[in-house]
Structure 1
Amino acid sequence: MHTVSRNSIQQRSLISQMFIICLHLMQRLLVAKFFVGFFMGIIFTVIVYNLKEPIEKPRFRPDQSKFEYEKNQQTFDDSNPSKPSIWNSSWDGFKNENKFPRHFYLIRHGQYFDNARTMEEMKLTLLGKEQLEYTGKRLNQTKTHFNRLIHSGMVRAFESAVIINQQLDSKLELIEDKSLSEGLPVAPIPYAGISQRDIDTYGDRARIDGAFAKYFHRARSDQNKETHDIIVFHANILRYFICKIMQFPVEAWLRITLNHGSITQITILSDGGIVLKTIGDSGFIPANKVTF
Structure 2
Amino acid sequence: MYVTAKNNFKNKPLVLQMCVICAHLTQRILTLRFFAGVLTGILFTIIFYHQKESIDKPKFRPDQSKFEYEKNQLPSDQIDRSESSSSSSSIWNSSWDGLKKMSTYPRHLYLIRHGQYFDNAASLNEMKLTILGKEQLKYTGMRLNQMNIQFNRLIHSGMVRAFESATIINEQLDTKLQLIKDTNLTEGLPVAPVPYAGISQRDADAYGDRPRIDTAFATYFHRAHNDQRKETHDIIVFHANILRYFICKIMQFPIQAWLRITLNHGSITQITILSDGSIVMKSVGDSGFIPSNKVTF
| CA–CA distance in structure 2, aligned partners of residues 228 and 74 of structure 1 | 33
Q: How does 1:206-245 map to 2 (within 5 A)?
A: 206-245=211-250
- C-alpha separation between the residues in 1 aligned to 2:172 and 2:85? 43
Task: From the superposition, tell whether residues 230 and 74 of structure 1 become closer, same or farther in structure 2 (CA, over 3 Å).
Answer: farther
> Which one of the candidate residues 271, 281, 292 is aligned to 1:287?
292
**Aligned position for 1:173:** 178
Alignment of 1:46-195 (within 5 A): 74=84, 77-78=87-88, 85-195=90-200
d(CA) in 2 for partners of 1:174, 1:74: 45
The aligned residue for residue 46 of structure 2 is: none
The unaligned stretches of length 5 or more in structure 2 are: 1-62, 69-82
Secondary structure of residue in 1 paired with 2:99: coil
Measured after TM superposition, the shift of residue 86 of structure 1 is: 1.0
Classify the secondary structure of the residue corresponding to 2:180: strand
Alignment RMSD: 1.8
The residue type paired with residue 194 of structure 1 is I
List per-residue Cα deviations over 1:108-150 (Å, max 9, x = no partner).
Answer: 0000000001000000000000000000000000000000000
Q: How far 1:75 moved relative to its partner?
A: 5.5
* Change in 2 beyond 3 A, CA 1:137/1:76: farther
Secondary structure, counterpart of 2:125 in structure 1: helix
Question: Residue 192 and residue 142 in structure 1: after superposition, are their counterparts in 2 closer, same or farther (change >3 A)?
Answer: same
Residues 146 and 75 (structure 1), Cα distance of their counterparts in 2 relative to 1, 3 Å cut: farther
Corresponding residue number in structure 2 for 1:44: none
Q: Is the 8 A contact 1:136 1:166 kept in 2?
A: yes
CA distance in 1 between partners of 2:271 and 2:240 (Å):
15
Provide the residue aligned with 1:205 in structure 2.
210
Give the conservation status (yes or no) of the 8 Å contact 1:76–1:87.
Answer: no
The structure-2 alpha-carbon separation of the partners of 1:75 and 1:230, relative to structure 1 and needing over 3 Å to count, comes to farther
Matching residue within 259, 266, 279 for 1:261 = 266
Q: Report the secondary structure of 2:140's partner residue.
A: helix
Stretches of 4+ aligned residues off by more than 2 angstroms: 73-78
Post-superposition offset of 1:74: 4.9
SS in 2 for 1:277: strand
AA aligned opposite 1:135: T
CA contact (8 A) 1:76 1:85 kept: no
Residue deviations 1:224-260 (CA, integer Å, cap 9, x gap): 1100000000000000000000000000000000000
* Corresponding residue SS for 1:161: helix
* C-alpha separation in 1, matches of 2:216 and 2:173: 26
Q: TM-score, normalised by structure 1?
A: 0.72
In 1, Cα distance between the equivalents of 2:86 and 2:283?
26
SS class of match (2:249): helix
- Provide the identity percentage: 76
| d(CA) in 2 for partners of 1:211, 1:166 | 25
Partner amino acid for 2:251?
A: M
Residue 77 of structure 1, CA deviation: 3.6
Unaligned runs of 5+ residues in structure 1 are: 1-59, 67-72, 79-83
Letter in 2 for 1:163: I
Of 234, 248, 257, which aligns to 1:252?
257
